[in-house]
Amino acid sequence: MTKRVINHVQEFLTIIDDGKVYQIVNVELLLRRHPPDAVIAFLRELQSDYKKELSQLIKADRTDSRINELVAKSFRIKMAINTIKNYEKGVKDAA
């Protein structure tokens, strides 16, 4: 996987709030050590955990501000997964 694609994926998984940088996951490290399919599986598991937590928060208190954070993180993970999948598809199509 190219550095450029890894940077695009990491941008989806990085949040900057009030000058503070927060990485949901350091995907560069993961992609260096594991195949893309394993990273996608990990991200899906993380997304599933966030969805479970989101469901519990919605049941408890629909006005909780953490709901916004979980929705945003879940969406960002989805976009990161799609970016990896699109790269993998492009590589297979080129071969």
pLDDT tens-digit readout, 16-74: 999 999 999 999 999 999 999 999 999 999 999 999 999 999 999 999 999 999 999 99
Whole-structure pTM value = 0.91
Find the radius of gyration of the CA atoms of the chain: 15
DSSP annotation string for the chain: --HHHHHHHHHHTEEEETTEEEES--HHHHHHHS-HHHHHHHHHHHHHHHHHHHHHHHHH-TT-THHHHHHHHHHHHHHHHHHHHHHHHHHHHH-
| Residue 92 confidence (pLDDT) | 76
Half-sphere exposure (Cβ direction) of 85: Cα atoms closer than 13 Å: 10
| Residues of the domain holding 47 | 3-94
Beta bridge partners of 21: 16
| Residue 39 confidence (pLDDT) | 97
- Number of domains into which the chain is organized: 1
Evaluate if residue 89 carries a pLDDT over 70: yes
Which of the four pLDDT bands, split at 50, 70 and 90, describes residue 95? low
